[in-house]
Amino acid sequence: MHLRTEHITQIYPHPTSPVVALQELSLQIPQGQFVAIVGASGSGKSTLLKILGGLLLPTAGKVWVGKQEITGLSDTALTLFRRMSIGFVFQDFNLLPVLTAVENIVFGLRLQKVPHKEAQARALHWLDKVGLADKAHARPAHLSGGQQQRVAIARALAMQPQVLIADEPTSSLDSENALQIAELLKNLQVLTQTTLVLATHDARLLPFADRLIEMKDGKML
């Protein structure tokens, strides 16, 4: 799916003065493109990702994911659209602590109505791909930060999203695992034409991207 924004602005309320996170930003990302968004903390990267993924509605402006204008959807319709079309890798992992690694992945797939047997097989496949086959039945508390990040990536990939949004996906990984994940994401993008948008401070990822977007003060440079 392609992504398009039209004059999106995001303003966060503040007791002293409103914070303008994005300013009249218009952007087009073709289907199947791997885009890396860079910029200092506070430049608007994470806000842009949340809006592109339908997790945050902009203060003003419109967003399209494929042919669907997501800024015009109800909360329920937007939730269903995200669940079926968009995958996320968050900085804080968002793993359910009471579930094992494989159960965390299966849980998301079951929300997509994937049959349990297929969900289990798909979850184990992607855990193996990120090098965690031996941690499939470990709960998050028994995994390192880097391992939790890889489970979160496996969960996103297992859902076979048409759009994958990743916020600092390698922030908790060492060099070897960061490069492994970057290659995995690139291969997925090429083979499936998944549209991949990630925000990163990790220069190791930049050679894998088709396009680099630099942001400052809520604007693209």
How many other CB atoms sit within 10 Å of the CB of residue 12? 10
Residue that has been written with the tokens 């859902």 in this structure: 159
Q: Is residue 100 part of a domain?
A: yes
∠ Cα 65 68 72 (to 5°): 110
Q: Is residue 21 part of a domain?
A: no
Q: Is residue 125 part of a domain?
A: yes
Q: Is residue 8 part of a domain?
A: no
Do residues 44 and 217 touch, judged by C-beta distance below 8 A?
yes
pLDDT tens readout for residues 57-93: 999 999 999 999 999 899 999 999 998 899 988 877 8
Question: Total structural domains in the chain?
Answer: 1
How many other CB atoms sit within 10 Å of the CB of residue 175? 10
Q: Which two structure tokens, joined as six digits, stand for 194?
A: 């998944």
> What phi and psi values does residue 147 have, to the nearest 5 degrees?
-70, -40
Q: Is residue 53 part of a domain?
A: no
pLDDT tens readout for residues 18-65: 999 999 999 999 999 999 999 998 899 999 999 999 999 999 999 999
Residue 37's CATH number:
3.40.50.300
User: pLDDT over 70 for what percent of the chain?
Assistant: 100
pLDDT tens readout for residues 82-137: 988 999 888 778 899 999 999 999 999 998 899 999 999 999 999 999 999 999 99
Q: Domain range for residue 158?
A: 30-46+73-220
Q: Is residue 123 part of a domain?
A: yes
